[in-house]
Amino acid sequence: MRKNIVAFRRLNEEQLAQLRQHHDVDFFEHHEDADSPAFHAALAKAHGLITAGLKVTPQLISNAPHLETIASISVGYDNYPLATLNERNILLCNTPDVLTETTADTGFLLIMATARRAVELADWVKDGQWKSSIGPDLFGSDVHGKTLGMVGFGRIGAAIARRGSLGFGMQIRYTMASPKPELEKELGALRLPLEDLLATSDFVCVSVPLNRDTEKLIDSAALELMKPNGILINISRGKVIDEQALIEALNTGKIGAAGLDVFEQEPLPAESPLPHMPNVVALPHIGSATRETRAAMAQRAVDNMLLALAGNDPISSVNPEVLTRRVKWSPEFGPGAKL
Ligand code: DGY
């Protein structure tokens, strides 16, 4: 049966055609479209919603009474009201795996750029300041052989640690609720409480999902524990770090530098001092932003949507348990049977 899909951003013509072969699709290409009456009218009849970068509120869900499935073009799902979706038995699909290596590349880019002061020194050259060879005041620090502390050791965290261990001979520490014996064996990684990891790592790399437990996990007390030359990297979500405390720690030299791909508020407000600080490398949330990976993420969202709307298990979902709770018509068990 053909259903109605609202697709919000990032799909190419081929992916739209795949959806249109089976369903009716309203496509909204631009961020501003989320405020348009046409978008809300389409949502009111939608069974499926494919989105990237849309803040989905309980209000938006209540304006979409037929919604069965959301396919997010992201691995993170902090933009969705999970409790509301569970209440309504709306399936939420995401895109793990396809972005792991690209996001780990971004993490390592930030490690290298902060340690070697790459952005600061490139700006210095651009400003015409390169008149003679640089002195110790502009030296960076080594990456190889240093200690890399991973706050979170999921797929992306492990991929960053693998680059550090195998490519740069770094010692890997990690903090995680449960141990990862296979990664400990593969990378010689040592599991530590957060406080010990912060105190002993040259690089602290944050790679945890944002939730109630991780919001402001890295606060002023945590920053206080870091080495004075320690470098903080964040490729997860901005709200995992207390940004005001971080600015203070960078300004007062409590820590050496920060490499940030994510911020409390995105896009970063014009008044934020972070991009202007010499010891900060600030990127515009580009973790997965390569042509290849963004296309693969969009394709995963399309595949998830087509599978889910056809009544099959998607490739990846956040709340698969809603499927077992859905009340479906079944010729064998009669209307209203829980399958
Ligand atoms: C993700 O997939 O969660 C990335 O951070 C892009 O939003």
pLDDT tens digits, one per residue of 9-30: 999 999 999 999 999 999 999 9
334 pLDDT more than 60: no
Average pLDDT of the segment spanning 191-220: 97
Q: Name the percent of the chain lying above pLDDT 90.
A: 94
Give catalytic status of residue 32 as yes or no: no
Q: 147-173 pLDDT, tens per residue?
A: 999 999 999 999 999 999 999 999 999
Mean pLDDT of 259-288: 97
Atom of ligand 1 nearest to the CA of 297: 2
Q: Is the pLDDT of residue 96 over 70?
A: yes
Mean pLDDT of 271-279: 97
User: pLDDT value at position 166?
Assistant: 98
Pocket test for ligand 1, best of 55, 73, 75, 211 (most atoms within 8 A of CB): 75
Pocket test for ligand 1, best of 99, 283, 300 (most atoms within 8 A of CB): 99
Nearest atom, ligand 1, residue 235 CA: 5
pLDDT at residue 336, rounded to an integer: 46
pLDDT, mean over the chain: 95
What pLDDT shows up at residue 329? 46
Catalytic residue among 29, 266, 292, 321: 266
Q: What are the tens digits of pLDDT across the range 171-188?
A: 999 999 999 999 999 999
Is residue 285 flagged as an active site residue?
yes
pLDDT of 326 > 90? The answer is no
**Distance from the CA of 201 to the center of ligand 1, in angstroms?**
26
Q: Best substitution site from 79, 261, 288, 300 to test ligand 1's pocket, by max atoms within 8 Å of Cβ?
A: 288
| 287 CB within 6 A, ligand 1 | yes
Among 176, 202, 172, smallest CA distance to 187 is for 172
Residue 144 annotated among the catalytic residues of the structure: no
The conformational region for residue 185 under phi > 0 = left, psi -120 to 50 = alpha, else beta, is alpha
Under the banding of pLDDT at 50, 70 and 90, the label for residue 337 is very low
Q: pLDDT band at residue 325, thresholds of 50, 70 and 90?
A: confident
More confident site: 274 or 10: 274
For residue 52, give the ligand 1 atom closest to its CA. 7
Please report the atom of ligand 1 found closest to the CA of residue 94: 2
**pLDDT more than 70, % of the chain:** 96
Q: CA geometry: angle at 5 spanning 303 and 89, to 5°?
A: 80
Please give the pLDDT value at position 327: 61
